[in-house]
Amino acid sequence: MAWRFALMIDPAASDDARTDFADTFSEIDPSTPALTVGELSTQRGDGIFESIGVVDGHAQEVEPHLARLAHSAEICELPAPNLEQWREAISRAQAASGEGEAVIKLILSRGVEHGPTPTAWVTVAPAADFTKPRTEGIAVAVLDRGYSIDLPGRAPWLLLGAKTLSYAVNMAAIREAKRRGADDAVFVSSDGFVLEAPTASLIIRRGDTFVTPAPNGGILHGTTQLSLFDHLAERGFETAYETLPVSALHDADAAWLVSSVRLAAPITAVDERSLTLDVELTASFNQYLLSPRD
């Protein structure tokens, strides 16, 4: 990946009321080393992140991403981010994103081991070409997430529901899905309820109603799913959050995985069982998701 921009951030306290954070930023060459060997983001995956889609220099849905960053920080007991500082950093990254589609990544780490402060940085890179999954769709494999749907409430130390840097399990799930001949995975709880994909939210259509799994079971509330639900409601469709058995996915009239960078990828098969691809509706979803959204 050819990184276009990187900005190191000296994190300000959440109640720092200044209006200009320029002296807390250090732009660096993204091809050069920037982290120390004691950095806990690389040693332990101890940190959080957000990926913001950018279209022709416009960063999409900045405020929902910042709200989720703050929520993840709270779950992980990291210092609350100064959102005005992060807005300014995103603005600088956005200006360096160029034409076409790109992705801004926000990273907040616990910092250097035994160090006094967190480490934070922002990067910009061109997005991959997702034309094929957006238009031709993807096949998914259903994989057991290994816990019951009520586990997050009983074990908050598992940090389920936070967007952490610890994505080894998510990547392993995608590799397993590909071994099974699929393109991506959909997690289900051990007691048979649909959760989410490793890097995306799930939306299914039942008639004129669009449903996503209720944000329990440690589901990461998707910014793209929230935006698309607002769009669907404006078009007169019903939207709902439900605790869904895995049969709801198999029996759906149509289904999509949605995320900030890939956008809406229609599901064409679930465990090799075909699912209807709604070409027209999918195209309208991605047309909306590629439009400027704040």
- The pLDDT assigned to 113 comes to 86
The number of beta carbons lying within 10 Å of the beta carbon of residue 55 is: 19
Torsion of CA 63, 68, 74, 80, to 10 degrees: -30
The number of beta carbons lying within 10 Å of the beta carbon of residue 32 is: 7
Burial class (CB in 10 A: 0-12, 13-18, 19+), 123: buried
Q: Which amino acid is at 115?
A: G
**Angle of helix 83-95 relative to helix 62-75, nearest 10 degrees?**
130
Domains belonging to the chain, first-starting first, are 5-126 (3.30.470.10), 131-290 (3.20.10.10)
Per-residue pLDDT of the chain (294 residues; tens, 9 = 90+): 578 999 999 999 999 999 999 999 999 999 898 898 899 999 999 999 999 999 999 999 999 999 999 999 999 999 999 999 999 999 999 999 999 999 999 999 999 988 888 999 999 999 999 999 999 999 999 999 999 999 888 998 898 889 999 999 999 999 999 999 999 999 999 999 999 999 999 999 999 999 999 988 788 889 999 999 999 999 999 999 999 999 999 999 999 999 999 999 999 999 999 999 999 999 999 999 999 998
Of 111, 69, 114, 110, which is closest to residue 87 (Cα–Cα)? 69
